[in-house]
Amino acid sequence: MPTDKQAYYKNNRLKQMRAFCQVVKCGSVTLAAQKLFLSQPSITLQIQALERELNVTLFERRGPTLRLTPDGEALYALAEPLVRGIDDLQTNFAAQSGHLESGEL
């Protein structure tokens, strides 16, 4: 049975994926945290939870340098379009809804 902490992170998969993708884009946990307006420990915890849940290592850590592992590259290829799509959903929906005609269902 999952603990409260495990359930919290599992229910926040989008936040984990967003944090992961931002770290990849920025090349730094600190810069990703700044872009997402979160603390560096929060980003680190989200990535660690994602690694535990998927049972993989996503980054090779060598001091301040992060490099994607093959598993990290595979996850990024899958996650980035999803995160981008969800992040752009409101803008894209608003643009399309302006072109929709009202009518009965």
pTM of the complete model beyond 0.85: no
Report yes or no on 102 lying in a domain.
no
For the chain, the domain total comes to: 1
pLDDT band for 3, please (50, 70, 90 cuts): low
Mean pLDDT of 65-80: 96
Quote the mean pLDDT of the chain. Answer: 86
Separation between Cα atoms, residue 28 and residue 23, nearest integer Å = 5
Domain of residue 65 covers 4-97
Answer yes or no: are the C-beta atoms of 21 and 83 closer than 8 Å: yes
Mean pLDDT of 30-55: 95
pLDDT at 74 over 60: yes
At 92 the pLDDT is 79
Report yes or no on 88 lying in a domain.
yes
> Positive or negative CA dihedral for 34, 35, 38, 42?
negative
Run of H or E including 67? strand 65-68
Report yes or no on 104 lying in a domain.
no
CATH number for position 45: 1.10.10.10
